[in-house]
Amino acid sequence: MLARKVIVAVRDPATRDRLLGVLGHDFGSDAVVTTTSGLELAKLLDERRPAILFVSADLEGASIWQIIEGFTPRRVPLTVFVAPDGPASKDIDASGWGRIAPTAQASEIVAAIERAKKFIRSAATHASLGSLARARLDAQGRIDQICVRFGIRPRFIPLSSVNWIESCGNYVRLHTADLEPWKVRITLVRLEKLLDPQQFIRVHRCHIVNADHVMAVIPHLHGDAKVQLRNGTTVELSRTHRAALEALDVTAV
């Protein structure tokens, strides 16, 4: 039997009120919590371990797609997405996970709750949720922060605090002011597409630097160079990425 905890992460007040009105008949008043913030939702998911999540994609701070990737799909509760008809809804419906329109009435919400209770989770459904999150995150484009692991707990860090990024196969390491780099399961190629190209510059097949943290470019052997960061770190800049020198807008030493 499902634990009787529900999170409603929906920004639109009218939609949220309709959901709460229906949920109030089936769940206790202390079993349902609401939020409009993606950052708070990540915290609530970790702390409350709800049975069902109603969520829209327009949360403040971080999207549900980032949260799913950060948590891994198997740790995400039975989810009913609140989304109007459109490209996102087509992806959601194709994934097999639940969806209601923001204008859904009581009978539709009740039906969605019953479907969620009967939903059978498996490796296939987890994979479909992961694919959905990746597809929608890629379609969404730029991100301002990224979900990392702090032990088993997810944590969002602002990309502005990242000095440089290092590729490690299917993972990347985010180097910040913290003693150890943060490891994130995403390829450098894919992450680069989600970054602001005016701020994050590819300087090597394995390295991206934050232009705001660059102090100088130091010539090296055979046309290569090294990028010196404000914290003293040096990062290789390869000949194939020499165009990045102009983008960095710093003086070579």
The residues, ordered by sequence, that sit 6+ positions from 155 with a Cβ below 8 Å of its Cβ are: 147, 148, 149
Asked if 6 contacts 52 with a C-beta cutoff of 8 angstroms, the reply is yes
Please name the residue that has the structure tokens 């944590």.
155
Beta-bridged to residue 82, according to DSSP, are: 100
pLDDT on residue 109 = 94
2 pLDDT higher than 60: no
> What average pLDDT does this structure show over 132-150?
86
* Nearest C-alpha neighbor of 4 from the set 21, 40, 29: 29
* Nearest C-alpha neighbor of 63 from the set 14, 16, 11: 11
Confidence of residue 151 (pLDDT cuts 50, 70, 90): low
Domains (range + CATH), the chain:
6-140 (3.40.50.2300), 162-248 (2.40.50.1020)
Confidence of residue 65 (pLDDT cuts 50, 70, 90): very high
pLDDT on residue 1 = 39
> What average pLDDT does this structure show over 101-112?
95
Angle between helices 13-26 and 106-118 in degrees, nearest 10: 60
47 pLDDT higher than 80: yes
> What average pLDDT does this structure show over 107-126?
93
Confidence of residue 185 (pLDDT cuts 50, 70, 90): confident
**Tokens at 243, concatenated:** 């165009």
Q: Kind and range of the H or E element at 140? A: helix 123-140
Question: From residue 164, how far is each of 22, 55, 66, 94, 189 by CA, in Å?
Answer: 48, 33, 20, 37, 14
| Terminal C-alpha separation, the chain | 66
In angstroms, the CA 51 to CA 27 distance is: 11
Mean pLDDT rounded to a whole number for the chain: 89
**Tokens at 143, concatenated:** 């991100």
Please name the residue that has the structure tokens 């602002």.
158
More confident residue, 62 or 96: 96
The residues, ordered by sequence, that sit 6+ positions from 213 with a Cβ below 8 Å of its Cβ are: 163, 164, 229, 230, 231
> What average pLDDT does this structure show over 33-46?
92
Confidence of residue 253 (pLDDT cuts 50, 70, 90): low
> What average pLDDT does this structure show over 94-114?
95
